[in-house]
């Protein structure tokens, strides 16, 4: 990427840490904003956030209000996405569901990613028996069918979206630990890390100041790309009746319910399905764009 | 989509290489294929089977002494039995067998086989054994109390003078199916009375024999043309294990299956316009009910129970969610049983429910948790009830779970509210009365975990009345005893009976002759043709 | 979306990115130029395999311990699942003792490992058949489906990924990326049901659910339990055609997801490779673009690609509950889910061992291939 290199040359040597950060960010943002697909992805994610925030204001109907007399209505002027098997407005439910989806995604990102990141960095940096133990544990988790693991956790903790989130988080940290470890192994022997170590920095300080920041970028990319998988795992638990509790308008649960109506009342499963598709595409496009922007060469 | 192109190419290649082989045609006329979820099928030994699929298949592989009356309520009709007499004291029955019925290998059915089969069910002591042993049989005494006189006659002695209708009804249940003593004993291992072998084989005198059972795929039955009154032209009756209703529907339209068993009301409605497909429904004995755990002090209040009864929109749920699939029913005996109560006094009346809650001191409402199986229909019903309870001020939080998980919790009495199905184990009113209206010991470690026990409902007086009803020998008096019990439970009990189920069938128009009784073991294939 | 495969694909990218990071680290010198002797290569492979085998044993033991713990925390009474709702206390107690559940957990674990040592996986409490028999029934169905799907995935995914990388940022790239992103984000059952509706019910191009037409079932002698292979071995071409017609759609749908993943990863590796100095050098030397892309870049990307394919194959071999439900396919995913929900722990343990072994075995094969191609790998 020619432009990228030129840009970094042109900016010259930064005079302060803050300025360096700012310069790095402006370069990053320039790269990202040039990528049309990534901007589309970012737009989708922002839209999700806005809808999650304003969903209750935007929805034309109460998402829980049943009216059996108008059940299974095709999309029309008063019910834009049609109604479901209990006569609830699907459009309002999809809007309300955005908040649930966003909270799943954010919670997993907040719980699993940092945990995996720190464990992976420490494991990769320390090496030795600690590394060996952590790697065996991640092996065990990775060799386990992931949905089964989540299923078992949910079965043990009880149904409900909070527990589903915990279960998904519990099953996804090993991935992040592995990614972080792999990055750490590359960074560990880098000159600036050795320099910091020679200056007498403690292991923890080295990990915190030099290793983790190097891994954060790839972690952000990975988490963004995984979002689709996380949403679909939540939906899978919903499908087995172990995700969100009815009447919650969680998208996966809505799809699972609509499955039996797919041939005659296609809108029941298709509308929340499109929502998942849309958001997953958004996260994936953004993830791709982030990767390109973080790593201009590759 | 790239993969579709690939499928197309694969098919073209297959077609070129294999010529005009139409390997995906409709079923041949001498094979009838039925699609049904067999996820509950674990055994085909009559002494062990207690699941819907298992007892249904066993019903077609074996004969019993009596057949439930499929026309209407009343005494069962004799099947292998020709005649019988009851002693003066009402405790000794002597049966005479019909001449003619033979097992699948041609050997005539004798009283020795009957006695062996009944003793076997008691001695093996598997899940359904209580049905027979409640007449006073134990492993120790069944040898003396059930005995053959000669090849066509045998005696059965009960411990009390039970109503003859109870005895006849028990002897029509799937677990009393008559097995071929010689064949079964020839396959005995370690004194298991042939149990291991019979789990996946048949040795009966019914209209079909088991040809092959491929777990997870299908059960194939072969017609026994020697069977008296068998009018079927079908050589093979195949039950395919198709778990997804939508898949069943496509296969039915396509003609790959002749009968679909698991379609929901909306799918059935959609098939109405499909040419070549007929749909119908038949009443079943299974009821859908709501149980309130009496360990919860609020749910123990009679006014609260009544308020909940008035907060459910029975009519609209049936009309919109369960058309053809259920009807409103508010007593613990299903229609078709002796003494079933047809009155449905409760309708949605939110104002009245609110008044009752104020009377009970809970005018501001309260919150409860409800456990429900996560199957689509149960969840729809539960959500509809949830919405109408909310109108009255009761917040019901749904806790969906897999069937076994919900059941484990229910049996441990850890629920507030349980929403689910109950199917009688045999076609006698005592089957349900013993579940809903009998609780001998309400302690946590009680032996009898009846539904009344599960809801911690202490009812010494009602328990006594339930037990007495088994001894009323006059049929109309017995029916009246059960009607009284039902009326008493209808207004004052932790049970809110909501609906009686119907089974929905969708089949190719040319298929005729499927007979459907109230319980799974009364679904018969012997007159099916197409 | 319940299907395991994509979630697991997501979960198993780790190895891959480890290796891609590695590949990137090594990229300064083109790996193709190094040609160590056969003996050195063999030596590397053997030590690697030995070390990996040891870690497999540790991992399997860990897997089993975790599974035992899961069995403990699931709030389902396994005895109840067997004897039913109406069991008498005696038959309940008898079943409980028969299942060994009256023993303390530690004793159960020790007993299980003891039996496992003798190759006995125990008996399913649900089907009451030996687990080995159950798995021999369900696993081949999954194996057949997963193998075919992976073949589809490779045939379509790798060229798509290479092409996409070569045309980076242009229309073909966007189209391929969107197609594979769809594969990532679409619930399988939705695609499966629509596929059945259109191709089976409306057009009649393919056969319906199940593994083979009921007419042919039982007519093919069981050798490998893979119907496609068995029917060919028996020379029964009609049965083979029927099996093909049945497997076409489910394998195409799973193949689509496999393709989506493989194409995506291939693109990513190729982009990594195409910006490397030696590729730039190769171009500068005047090698044709086709040769640069297919020979040099793809040759170097082959290492991490093997891992990707193995991971995708491994996750398909776990079985997928939803695809199996929709297509009435008696596979491992359905078996494992049912077993777990009934607390049939012997079955869960058995299936976990099989899936764990498949996963670890594929890792091993990948590692061996990896160290064969590039002996410097640690």
Task: Establish if B384 touches chain A: CB-CB under 8 angstroms.
Answer: yes
- pLDDT > 80? residue C218: no
Average pLDDT of chain B to the nearest whole number: 91
Structural domain count, chain A? 1
pLDDT at B172 over 60: yes
Residue of B nearest to A254 (CA): B376
CA atoms within 13 A of residue B494's CA, in its CB half-sphere: 30
Contacts for A188 with CB less than 8 Å, ≥ 6 apart: A124, A125, A211
- Comparing B301 with C181, which gets the higher pLDDT? B301
Q: Which candidate from B266, B374, B384 shows the least CB-CB separation from A66? A: B384
**Domain-wise residue ranges, chain C:** 131-377
Q: Mean pLDDT, to the nearest integer, of C357-371?
A: 81
pLDDT of C80:
77
Contact (CB<8Å) B404/C76: yes
Residues of chain A in contact with residue B317, where contact means CB-CB under 8 angstroms, are 68
Domain presence at residue A241: yes
Contact B266 A64 (CB under 8 A): no
Name every chain B residue with its beta carbon within 8 A of the beta carbon of A242: 374, 400-402
C neighbours by CB contacts (3+ pairs under 8 Å): A, B
Using pLDDT thresholds of 50, 70 and 90, give the confidence band for residue B73: low
A46 touching C (Cβ < 8 Å)? no
Which of C80, C214, C343 has the CB atom closest to B33's CB atom? C214
Q: How distant, in Å, are the alpha carbons of B117, B223, B504, C5, C220 from that of B522?
A: 20, 18, 15, 42, 35
Nearest CA in chain C to B255: C201
Q: Is C85 exposed, middle or buried (0-12, 13-18, 19+ CB in 10 A)?
A: middle
- pLDDT tens per residue, range C157-168: 999 999 998 888
What share of chain A has pLDDT > 90, as a percent?
22
Give the model's pLDDT for residue C21: 39
Which chain B residues touch A64 with a CB distance below 8 Å?
A: 387
Single pTM value for the model: 0.87
The answer, for C26 touching chain A at a CB cutoff of 8 Å, is no
Contacts of C273 (CB under 8 A, 6+ apart): C27, C279, C296, C297, C298, C300, C301
The minimum CA-CA distance between B320 and chain A, rounded to whole Å, is 6
Contact A145 C355 (CB under 8 A): yes
pLDDT value at C373 more than 90: no
- The pLDDT score that the predictor gives to residue B58 is 97
pLDDT score for C220:
81
pLDDT band at B403 (very low <50, low <70, confident <90, very high): confident
In this prediction, residue C26 carries a pLDDT of 38
pLDDT tens-digit series, residues C14-56: 343 444 433 333 333 344 444 567 777 777 778 877 877 888 8
Under an 8 A CB cutoff, do B402 and A86 touch?
no
- How high does pLDDT run on average in chain A? 83
A8 domain residue, yes or no: no
Least CB-CB distance to A260: which of B267, B373, B382? B267
Distance CA A121, CA A205 (A): 12
The pLDDT value recorded for residue C247 is 94
* Three-class SS state of C196: helix
**Is pLDDT of B6 > 60?**
no
Mean pLDDT on B496-517: 95
- C111 contacts C100 by C-beta, under 8 angstroms: yes
Minimum Cα–Cα distance from A68: chain B residue:
B320
Q: Which of B18, B31, B127 shows the shortest C-beta gap to C87? A: B127
Q: Does C204 touch chain B (CB under 8 A)?
A: yes
Residue B15 has pLDDT above 80, yes or no: no
At residue C10, the pLDDT reads 35
pLDDT, average across residues B374-379: 87
Q: Which domain holds residue A137?
A: 22-62+72-294
Sheet of strand B81-86: strand arrangement: B81-86, B92-97, B153-157, B146-148
Enter the tokens of residue B343.
């009155």
pLDDT score recorded for residue B489: 96
Residue to substitute from A154, A241, A265, A267, interface B, most B β-carbons within 10 A: A241
pLDDT, one tens digit per residue, over B264-319 is 999 999 998 889 999 999 999 999 999 999 999 999 999 999 999 999 999 999 99
Q: Note the pLDDT of residue B71.
A: 66
Are A260 and B380 within 8 A, CB to CB?
Answer: no
For A65, name the nearest residue in chain B, comparing CA atoms only: B387
Smallest CA–CA distance, residue A69 to chain B, in Å, is 8
Question: Contact A263/C197, CB-based, under 8 Å?
Answer: yes
- Crossing angle, helix A161-188 and helix A146-157, to 10 degrees? 140
CB pairs under 8 A between B and C: 173
Collapsing DSSP to helix, strand or coil, C229 comes out as helix
pLDDT at B394 over 70: yes
A226 interaction partners in chain C (CB closer than 8 Å): 10
Q: Is the pLDDT of residue A4 over 60?
A: no
Question: pLDDT tens-digit profile of A132-161?
Answer: 889 888 888 888 877 777 778 877 787 788
Tens digits of per-residue pLDDT, B211-234?
999 888 899 999 988 787 776 788
The verdict on A102 touching C (C-beta cutoff 8 Å) is: no
Per-residue confidence at A1, pLDDT binned at 50, 70, 90? very low
Q: Is the pLDDT of residue B179 over 90?
A: yes
Interface test with A, best of B320, B373, B414 (most A CBs within 10 A): B320
Distance CA C274, CA C293 (A): 8
Residues of chain A with C-beta less than 8 angstroms from the C-beta of C355: 143-145
Report how far residue A180's alpha carbon sits from residue A92's, in angstroms, rounded to the nearest whole number. Answer: 40
- Do B147 and B154 meet the contact criterion of CB atoms below 8 Å apart? yes
What average pLDDT does range B446-472 have in this prediction?
94
Mutation pick from B376, B378, B412, B414 vs chain A, by most beta carbons of A within 10 Å, is B376
Q: C63: distance to nearest CA of chain A, Å?
A: 5
CA dihedral angle for residue B4, residue B7, residue B13, residue B17, rounded to 10 degrees: -150
Q: Partners of B154 in the beta sheet? A: B95, B148
Separation between Cα atoms, residue B263 and residue B268, nearest integer Å: 6
CB C322 to CB A179 under 8 A?
no
> Is the pLDDT reported for residue A298 higher than 50?
no
pLDDT at position C376, please?
Answer: 53
Q: Does the pLDDT at position B123 exceed 60?
A: yes
Contact across the interface for B320 and A262, Cβ inside 8 Å = no
Answer yes or no: is pLDDT of B105 > 50: yes
Q: A265 and B266 in contact by Cβ < 8 A?
A: yes
B106: left (phi over 0), alpha (psi -120 to 50) or beta: left
Tell me what pLDDT residue B402 has: 81
Q: What average pLDDT does the segment A26-52 reach?
A: 87
**C-alpha–C-alpha distance, residues A62 and A17, integer Å:** 51
Of B407, B432, B426, B409, residue with least CA distance to B493: B432
Counting as contact any 3 or more CB pairs under 8 A, the partners of B are A, C
pLDDT at A232 over 60: yes
pLDDT at B163: 94
Please state whether the peptide bond connecting residue B89 to the residue before it is cis, i.e. omega within 30 degrees of 0: no
Query: Nearest Cβ partner of C356 from A143, A252, A263?
Result: A143
Which among A144, A182, A229 has CB closest to C63? Answer: A144
> Distance between CA atoms of C198 and C178, rounded to whole angstroms?
23
CB contact under 8 A, A232 and C21: no
Token pair 């085909």: residue: B44
Cβ within 8 Å, pair A159-B379: no
The rounded percent of chain B whose pLDDT value lies above 70 is: 94
pLDDT tens digits, residue range C91-149? 788 888 887 888 888 888 888 888 888 888 888 877 778 899 889 989 999 999 999 99
Q: Does A263 have pLDDT greater than 80?
A: yes
Q: Tens of pLDDT along C296-352?
A: 888 888 877 887 898 889 888 887 888 888 898 989 988 888 888 888 888 988 988
Q: What domains lie within chain B, and their CATH numbers?
A: 4-43+206-280+505-522 (3.40.190.10), 66-182 (3.90.76.10), 283-503 (3.10.105.10)
C375 touches B at CB < 8 Å: no
Contacts of C21 in chain A (CB under 8 A): 182-183, 185-186
B358 band by pLDDT with thresholds 50, 70 and 90: very high
Q: Measured between CA atoms, how close is C90 to chain A, in angstroms?
A: 28
Residue C13 has pLDDT above 60, yes or no: no
Task: Tell me the sheet residues that pair with B395.
Answer: B367
pLDDT band at C193 (very low <50, low <70, confident <90, very high): confident
The residues facing B155 across adjacent strands are B94, B147
Judged by a CB distance cut-off of 8 A, whether residue B159 touches chain C is no
pLDDT at C374: 65
**Closest chain B C-alpha to A289 CA, distance in angstroms:** 24
Q: Which CATH class is domain C131-377?
A: mainly alpha
- Which pLDDT score, from 0 to 100, does residue C170 have? 87
Angle at B511 between CA B507 and CA B516, to 5 degrees: 75
Q: Is the pLDDT of residue A195 over 70?
A: yes
The pLDDT of residue C19: 42
Nearest to C80 among B31, B254, B407 (CB): B407
Q: In chain B, which residues have their Cβ closer than 8 Å to the Cβ of C94? A: 125
Lowest mean pLDDT among A288-292, B195-199, C175-179, C355-359: A288-292
Task: Report the CATH number that the domain containing residue A249 is assigned in CATH.
Answer: 1.10.3720.10
Quick check: A262 contacting C, CB < 8 Å?
yes
User: Which whole-number Å values give the CA distances from B153 to B88, B168, C189, in the listed order?
Assistant: 19, 16, 58
Q: Using alpha carbons only, give the angle A16, A207, C20 rounded to the nearest 5 degrees.
A: 100
The verdict on a CB contact (< 8 Å) between B397 and A245 is yes
Say yes or no: C360 contacts chain A, CB-CB below 8 A: yes
- Domain membership flag for residue A12: no
Closest chain B residue to the Cα of C180, Cα to Cα: B1
Instruction: Please give the pLDDT value at position A10.
Output: 45
What is the H or E stretch that residue A163 is in? helix A161-188
């Amino acid at each position: 990427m020619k432009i990228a290199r030129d840009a970094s040359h042109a900016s010259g040597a930064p005079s302060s840490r803050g300025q360096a950060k700012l310069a790095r960010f402006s370069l990053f943002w320039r790269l990202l904003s040039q990528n049309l697909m990534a901007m589309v992805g970012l737009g989708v994610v922002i839209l999700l956030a806005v809808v999650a925030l304003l969903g209750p204001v935007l929805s034309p109907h109460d998402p829980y209000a049943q009216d059996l007399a108008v059940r299974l209505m095709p999309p029309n002027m008063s019910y834009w996405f049609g109604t479901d098997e209990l006569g609830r407005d699907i459009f309002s439910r999809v809007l309300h569901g955005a908040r649930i989806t966003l909270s799943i995604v954010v919670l997993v990102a907040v719980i699993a990613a940092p945990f995996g990141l720190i464990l992976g960095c420490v494991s990769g940096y320390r090496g030795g028996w600690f590394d060996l133990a952590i790697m065996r544990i991640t092996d065990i988790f990775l060799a386990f069918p992931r949905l089964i693991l989540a299923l078992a956790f949910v079965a043990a903790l009880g149904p409900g979206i909070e527990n589903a989130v915990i279960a998904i988080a519990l099953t996804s940290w090993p991935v992040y630990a592995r990614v972080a470890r792999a990055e750490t192994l590359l960074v560990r022997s880098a000159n600036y890390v050795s320099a910091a170590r020679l200056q007498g920095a403690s292991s923890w300080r080295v990990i915190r100041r030099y290793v983790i920041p190097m891994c954060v970028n790839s972690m952000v990319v990975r988490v963004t790309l995984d979002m689709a998988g996380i949403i679909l795992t939540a939906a899978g638990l919903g499908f087995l009746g172990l995700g969100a509790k009815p009447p919650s308008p969680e998208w996966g649960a809505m799809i699972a319910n609509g499955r039996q109506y797919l041939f005659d009342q296609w809108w029941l499963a298709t509308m929340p399905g499109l929502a998942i598709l849309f958001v997953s595409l958004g996260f994936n496009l953004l993830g791709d764009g982030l990767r390109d922007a973080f790593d201009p060469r590759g | 989509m790239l993969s579709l192109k690939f499928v197309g190419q694969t098919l073209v290649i297959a077609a070129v290489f294999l010529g005009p082989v139409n390997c995906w045609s409709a079923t041949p006329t001498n094979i009838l294929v039925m699609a049904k979820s067999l996820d509950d099928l674990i055994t085909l030994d009559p002494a062990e089977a207690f699941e819907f699929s298992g007892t249904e298949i066993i019903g077609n592989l074996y004969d019993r002494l009596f057949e439930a009356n499929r026309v209407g309520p009343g005494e069962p009709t004799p099947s292998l039995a020709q005649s019988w007499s009851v002693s003066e004291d009402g405790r000794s029955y002597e049966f005479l067998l019909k001449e003619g019925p033979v097992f699948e290998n041609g050997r005539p059915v004798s009283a020795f086989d009957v006695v062996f089969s009944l003793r076997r069910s008691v001695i093996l002591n598997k899940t359904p054994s209580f049905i027979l042993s409640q007449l006073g049989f134990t492993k120790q005494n069944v040898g003396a109390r059930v005995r053959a006189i000669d090849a066509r006659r045998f005696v059965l002695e009960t411990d009390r003078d039970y109503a003859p209708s109870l005895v006849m009804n028990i002897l029509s249940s799937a677990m009393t199916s008559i097995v071929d003593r010689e064949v079964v004993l020839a396959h005995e291992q370690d004194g298991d009375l042939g149990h291991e072998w019979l789990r996946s084989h048949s040795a009966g005198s019914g209209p079909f024999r088991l040809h092959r059972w491929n777990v997870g795929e299908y059960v194939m039955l072969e017609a026994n043309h020697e069977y008296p009154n068998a009018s079927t032209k079908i050589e093979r009756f195949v039950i395919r294990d198709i778990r997804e209703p939508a898949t069943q529907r496509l296969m039915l339209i396509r003609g790959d299956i002749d009968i679909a068993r698991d379609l929901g009301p909306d799918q059935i409605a959609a098939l109405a316009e499909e040419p070549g497909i007929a749909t119908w429904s038949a009443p079943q004995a299974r009821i859908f009910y709501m149980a309130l755990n009496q360990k919860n002090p609020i749910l123990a209040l009679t006014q609260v129970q009544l308020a909940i009864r008035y907060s459910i929109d029975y009519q609209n749920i049936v009309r919109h969610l369960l058309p053809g699939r259920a009807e409103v029913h508010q007593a613990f005996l299903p229609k078709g049983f002796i003494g079933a109560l047809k009155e449905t006094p409760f309708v949605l009346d939110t104002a009245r429910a609110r008044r009752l809650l104020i009377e009970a001191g809970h005018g501001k409402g309260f919150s409860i948790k409800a456990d429900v199986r996560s199957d689509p229909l149960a969840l729809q019903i539960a959500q509809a009830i949830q919405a109408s309870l909310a109108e009255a001020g009761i917040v019901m939080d749904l806790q969906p779970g897999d069937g076994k998980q919900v059941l484990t919790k229910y049996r441990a009495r850890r629920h507030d509210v349980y929403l689910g199905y109950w199917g009688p184990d045999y076609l006698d009113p005592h089957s349900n009365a013993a579940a809903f209206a009998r609780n001998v010991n309400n302690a946590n470690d009680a032996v009898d975990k009846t539904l009344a026990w599960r809801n911690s409902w202490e009812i010494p007086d009602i328990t006594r009345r339930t037990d007495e009803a088994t001894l009323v020998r006059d049929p109309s008096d017995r029916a009246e005893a059960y009607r009284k019990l039902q009326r008493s439970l209808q207004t004052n009990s932790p049970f809110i009976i909501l609906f009686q189920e119907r089974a929905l069938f969708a089949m190719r128009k040319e298929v005729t002759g499927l007979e459907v009784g109230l319980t799974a073991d009364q679904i018969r294939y012997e007159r099916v043709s197409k | 979306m319940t299907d395991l495969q994509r979630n697991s694909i997501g979960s198993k990218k780790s190895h891959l990115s480890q290796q891609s990071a590695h590949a990137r680290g090594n990229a300064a010198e083109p790996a193709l130029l190094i040609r160590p002797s056969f003996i050195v290569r063999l030596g590397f492979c053997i030590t690697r395999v030995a070390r990996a085998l040891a870690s497999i044993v540790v991992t399997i033991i860990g897997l089993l311990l975790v599974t035992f713990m899961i069995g403990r925390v699931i709030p389902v009474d396994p005895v109840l699942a067997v004897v039913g709702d109406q069991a008498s206390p005696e038959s309940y107690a008898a079943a409980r003792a028969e299942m060994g559940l009256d023993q303390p957990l530690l004793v159960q674990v020790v007993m299980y490992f003891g039996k496992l040592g003798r190759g006995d996986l125990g008996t399913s409490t649900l089907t009451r058949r030996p687990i080995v028999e159950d798995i021999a029934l369900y696993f081949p169905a999954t194996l057949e489906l997963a193998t075919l799907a992976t073949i589809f995935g490779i045939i379509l995914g790798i060229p798509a990924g290479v092409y996409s990388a070569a045309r980076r940022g242009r229309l073909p790239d966007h189209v391929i990326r969107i197609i594979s992103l769809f594969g990532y984000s679409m619930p399988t059952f939705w695609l499966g049901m629509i596929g059945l509706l259109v191709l089976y019910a409306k057009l009649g191009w393919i056969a319906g659910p199940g593994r083979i037409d009921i007419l042919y079932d039982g007519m093919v002698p069981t050798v490998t339990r893979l119907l496609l292979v068995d029917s060919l071995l028996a020379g029964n071409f009609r049965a083979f055609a029927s099996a093909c017609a049945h497997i076409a759609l489910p394998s195409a749908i799973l193949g689509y997801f496999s393709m989506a993943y493989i194409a995506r990863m291939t693109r990513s590796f190729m982009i990594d490779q195409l910006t490397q100095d030696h590729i730039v050098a190769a171009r500068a030397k005047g090698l044709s673009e086709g040769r640069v892309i297919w020979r040099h870049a793809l040759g170097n990307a082959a290492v991490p690609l093997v891992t990707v394919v193995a991971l995708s194959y491994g996750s398909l071999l776990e079985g997928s509950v939803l695809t199996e439900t929709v297509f009435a396919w008696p596979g491992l995913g359905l078996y494992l889910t049912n077993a777990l929900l009934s607390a049939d722990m012997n079955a869960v343990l058995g299936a976990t061992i099989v899936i764990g072994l498949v996963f670890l075995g594929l890792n091993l094969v990948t590692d061996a291939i990896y160290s064969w191609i590039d002996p410097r790998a640690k």
